[in-house]
Structure formats: structure tokens, C-alpha cells
């Protein structure tokens, strides 16, 4: 593991996943990988339950992480992979909450109530994520916002400055490439998984 993403979801993690892969720090493990490999869901559920985790086995074949559920375990990953750098993706808190309210929070509510065969594990996983990150209080806007800001503050305080990049997607390639000591690509910085795209994917997933 060479790069650990400590930022919560809806902070540009899909775009940064694509970017770090382009820069040679991939494959990058993201929630996308969990939905594509449901057997990983059970491993994460065990982790949230406090069971020992074989991180090397879980991340076999991956060089980096972004997004939930891995960001919920950033302290463990920072300790397990001491040579890995850490990227904390951040966003204006109000903008972040608006994005959450339009995308993940409704999906989490639907998933928690779903009885569709083969989908139950996802409901249990997002419930565990919501509990871990927000004490399960996803309908309490002020609490969710406070938890978001507290998470970012803890990461900033805990990770040594020379190992940490606090990054907003709008900053583009330069700070990310400088931090990772790689050349700046000529291609435009990727911008993926905006609200409209997310909603389209979710609609297809729930109707499958």
C-alpha cells in the first residue's frame, strides 16, 4: 500500500481514484470495488464489528485506497503501512452535506430498508459506515456536519505534515503530483461521479 485516502465520501474520491491510478498509484480501492465484489462486504462488516483484519489480504493487488469503507480505518492503515502517504480529500462542509443529502444519505436509507435478495449485505455495510462515521444519526444535519469537520481535524492532527496532503479536487494536478513526486500529466484532471452521475448509477442498481 503506497497511498491511503483518509477523506470521507463525496469529497471527490472517485476523481482522485482515477487521478492516482493515472499517476501510477493504482489500482485504487474504492467503494466501487466493494459493490463489484460483494464478498468483500462481509470482510468489512467483520472489520466494523472489531474482528482482526488481514489488511494485506483485503487489499491484495491494490496500491492505494479512497472513500469508504477504507477511510473509516485510516488510523489502522496509517500504522500498518508506515511508508504510505496519506491524502485527506476535503470540501466546503455545506457543499459536502448538500452532495451527501442528494446522493449517499437517501441510498443508505433505502439500502437499510431493502429486502431485495443479494442486496442485504450492502444495507448492513452502509449502516455500519453510518454508525462509525456519524453515530448512525444521518438524519441530524448538524451532527453529520460536525462529524465531518471533526474527522478532518483528527486526521490533520494525527498524520505528520510531511506524510499528509490535504487536498481539494479543484486544485488539479499540481499539488497531488508534487506530493507524490511524479510529473504533471498533460491530460485534464478527471472529474467523475458528480451528483447526476451518482443518481443514475443508483437508479440502475436499485432497479436491477
pLDDT in tens, 41-84: 999 999 999 999 999 999 999 999 999 999 999 999 999 999 99
Q: Let me know: does 152 contact 92? Beta carbons within 8 Å.
A: no
Mean pLDDT of the chain: 92
pLDDT at site 115: 66
Q: Is the dihedral of CA 130, 165, 64, 57 positive or negative?
A: negative
Residues above pLDDT 70, as percent of the chain? 91
The three-state secondary structure class of 81 is coil
Angle, vertex CA 50, rays to CA 44 and CA 54, nearest 5: 55
Q: Tell me what the mean pLDDT of segment 172-197 comes to.
A: 88
Model-level pTM?
Answer: 0.93
d(CA 122, CA 108): 9
For the chain, domains (ranges, CATH) are: 3-207 (3.40.50.300)
Angle, vertex CA 55, rays to CA 182 and CA 178, nearest 5: 15
Residue 194 has pLDDT above 90, yes or no: no
Residue 23 has pLDDT above 70, yes or no: yes
Amino acid at each position: 500500500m503506497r497511498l491511503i485516502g483518509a477523506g470521507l465520501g463525496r469529497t471527490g474520491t472517485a476523481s482522485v481514484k482515477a487521478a492516482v491510478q493515472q499517476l501510477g498509484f493504482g489500482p485504487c480501492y474504492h467503494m466501487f470495488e466493494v459493490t463489484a465484489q460483494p464478498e468483500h462486504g462481509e470482510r468489512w462488516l467483520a472489520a466494523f464489528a472489531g474482528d482482526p483484519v488481514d489488511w494485506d489480504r483485503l487489499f491484495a493487488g491494490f496500491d492505494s485506497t479512497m472513500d469508504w469503507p477504507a477511510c473509516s480505518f485510516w488510523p489502522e492503515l496509517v500504522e500498518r503501512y508506515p511508508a504510505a502517504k496519506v491524502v485527506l480529500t476535503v470540501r466546503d462542509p455545506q457543499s459536502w452535506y448538500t452532495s451527501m443529502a442528494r446522493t449517499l444519505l437517501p441510498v443508505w436509507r433505502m439500502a437499510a430498508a431493502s429486502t431485495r435478495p443479494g442486496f442485504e449485505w450492502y444495507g448492513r455495510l452502509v449502516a455500519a459506515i453510518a454508525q462509525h462515521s456519524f453515530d448512525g444519526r444521518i438524519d441530524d444535519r448538524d451532527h453529520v456536519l460536525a462529524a465531518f469537520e471533526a474527522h478532518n481535524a483528527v486526521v490533520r492532527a494525527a498524520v505528520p505534515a510531511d506524510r499528509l496532503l490535504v487536498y481539494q479536487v479543484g486544485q488539479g494536478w499540481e499539488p497531488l503530483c508534487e506530493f507524490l513526486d511524479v510529473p504533471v500529466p498533460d491530460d485534464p484532471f478527471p472529474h467523475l461521479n458528480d451528483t447526476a452521475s451518482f443518481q443514475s448509477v443508483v437508479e440502475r442498481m436499485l432497479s436491477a
